[in-house]
Amino acid sequence: MSTFYLTTPIYYVNARPHLGHACTTIMADAMCRYRRLAGDRVYLLTGTDEHGERIAQVAAAAGKSPQAYADEISAVFRETWRRLGITNDDFIRTTEPRHRKVVQEVLQRLHDAGEIYFGEYGGWYCYGCERFYTEKEIVDGKCPDHQTALTFVKEKNYFFKMSKYQAWLIKHLEDNPGFIQPERYRNEVLGFLREPLQDLSISRPRSRLEWGIPLPFDDQYVTYVWFDALLNYYSAVADPENPKTQGLWEHVEHVIGKDILKPHGVYWPTMLKAAGIPLYRRLHVHGYWSLGGSKMSKSIGNVVEAFQLTDKYGHDAFRYFLLREMNFGLDANFSEEAFVDRLNADLANDLGNLASRATTLIAAGGAVSQVAAPIEPGDREIYVTATETKSLVAHAMGEFAFQKALAELWSFIGAVNRYVDTNAPWALAKDPAKRRRLERVLCTLADSLGFLGIMLDPFLPDAARKIREALGQSAPPALEAAVVGRLTSVPRVTKISGLFPRVDTKAPAATLAPPGRGPGEGASREGAGGDGGKIAITDFQKVELRVAEVLAAERVPKSKKLLKLSIRVGEETRTLVAGVAEHYEPGDLVGRKVVIVANLQPATLMGVESNGMVLAAEHGGTLSLITLDRDLPTGAKVK
**Of all residues in this chain, which one has the CB nearest to ligand MSP in the complex?**
20
> Least distance in Å: CB of 183 to ligand MSP?
19
Binding footprint of ligand MSP, residue count (CB under 6 A): 19
Binds ligand MSP by CB under 6 A, chosen from 4, 5, 6, 9: 9
Binds ligand MSP by CB under 6 A, chosen from 259, 305, 381, 462: 259
Helix or strand holding residue 307 (H, E): helix 306-313
Terminal Cα distance for the chain, rounded: 71
Per CB under 6 A, 127 contacts ligand MSP = no
User: Can you give the length of the chain in residues?
Assistant: 639
Helix or strand holding residue 524 (H, E): helix 519-527
Spatial distance between the Cα atoms of 415 and 383, rounded to a whole number of angstroms: 11
Nearer to ligand MSP, 257 or 269 (CB): 257
Per CB under 6 A, 288 contacts ligand MSP = yes
Nearer to ligand MSP, 285 or 594 (CB): 285
Q: What is the DSSP letter of 600?
A: P
> Least distance in Å: CB of 178 to ligand MSP?
20
Spatial distance between the Cα atoms of 517 and 340, rounded to a whole number of angstroms: 16
Spatial distance between the Cα atoms of 210 and 218, rounded to a whole number of angstroms: 13
Classified as helix, coil or strand, 323 is helix
Binds ligand MSP by CB under 6 A, chosen from 28, 162, 256, 386: 256
Per CB under 6 A, 477 contacts ligand MSP = no
Nearer to ligand MSP, 302 or 391 (CB): 302
Nearer to ligand MSP, 105 or 588 (CB): 105
Q: Which of residues 99-118 bind ligand MSP (CB under 6 A)?
A: none
HEC sequence for 353-415: HHHHHHHHHHHHHCCECCCCCCCCHHHHHHHHHHHHHHHHHHHHHHCCCHHHHHHHHHHHHHH
Cβ–Cβ < 8 Å for 144, 190? no
Per CB under 6 A, 70 contacts ligand MSP = no
Nearer to ligand MSP, 9 or 425 (CB): 9
> Least distance in Å: CB of 207 to ligand MSP?
24
Nearer to ligand MSP, 77 or 419 (CB): 77
Binds ligand MSP by CB under 6 A, chosen from 4, 5, 6, 10: 10
Spatial distance between the Cα atoms of 102 and 112, rounded to a whole number of angstroms: 15
Spatial distance between the Cα atoms of 382 and 378, rounded to a whole number of angstroms: 7
> Least distance in Å: CB of 584 to ligand MSP?
35
Nearer to ligand MSP, 321 or 451 (CB): 321
Spatial distance between the Cα atoms of 243 and 241, rounded to a whole number of angstroms: 6
> Least distance in Å: CB of 41 to ligand MSP?
23
My answer on whether omega of the bond before 196 falls inside 30° of 0, hence cis, is: no
> Least distance in Å: CB of 240 to ligand MSP?
23
Measured in whole angstroms, the distance separating CA 465 from the mean position of its chain's CA atoms is 21
Distances (CA, A) of 633 to 18, 140, 542, 624: 50, 50, 22, 21
Binds ligand MSP by CB under 6 A, chosen from 4, 5, 12, 321: 12
> Least distance in Å: CB of 123 to ligand MSP?
20
Spatial distance between the Cα atoms of 577 and 432, rounded to a whole number of angstroms: 49
Q: Which of residues 293-322 bind ligand MSP (CB under 6 A)?
A: 296
Find the part of the chain contacting ligand MSP (CB under 6 A) among 3-11, 74-82, 201-209, 606-614. Answer: 3-11
Backbone angles phi, psi at 472, to 5 degrees: 75, 20
Q: Which residues are catalytic?
A: 18, 21, 126, 129, 143, 146, 295, 298
Q: Which of residues 18-57 bind ligand MSP (CB under 6 A)?
A: 20-21, 23-24, 49
Find the part of the chain contacting ligand MSP (CB under 6 A) among 10-18, 53-61, 103-111, 588-596. Answer: 10-18
Find the part of the chain contacting ligand MSP (CB under 6 A) among 256-264, 350-358, 440-448, 465-473. Answer: 256-264
Buried b (16+ CB within 10 A) or exposed e, 514-534: eeeebbeeebeeebeeeeeee
Q: Which residues contact 609 (CB under 8 A, 6 or more apart)?
A: 575, 602, 603
Site string for ligand MSP, 214-253 (x = CB under 6 A): ---------------xx-x---------------------
Classified as helix, coil or strand, 52 is coil
> Least distance in Å: CB of 94 to ligand MSP?
9
Nearer to ligand MSP, 227 or 584 (CB): 227
Position 239: which residue type?
A: D
Nearer to ligand MSP, 10 or 406 (CB): 10
Spatial distance between the Cα atoms of 604 and 558, rounded to a whole number of angstroms: 15
Spatial distance between the Cα atoms of 582 and 54, rounded to a whole number of angstroms: 50
Per CB under 6 A, 257 contacts ligand MSP = yes
Binds ligand MSP by CB under 6 A, chosen from 58, 260, 358, 567: 260
> Least distance in Å: CB of 23 to ligand MSP?
5
CA-closest candidate to residue 3, choices 89, 92, 91, 99: 89
Question: Can you say whether the dihedral through the CA atoms of 623, 353, 311, 15 is positive or negative?
Answer: negative
Nearer to ligand MSP, 213 or 441 (CB): 213
Spatial distance between the Cα atoms of 552 and 543, rounded to a whole number of angstroms: 25
> Least distance in Å: CB of 244 to ligand MSP?
21
- Residues of this chain that interact with ligand MSP (CB under 6 A) are 9-12, 20-21, 23-24, 49, 229-230, 232, 256-257, 259-260, 288-289, 296
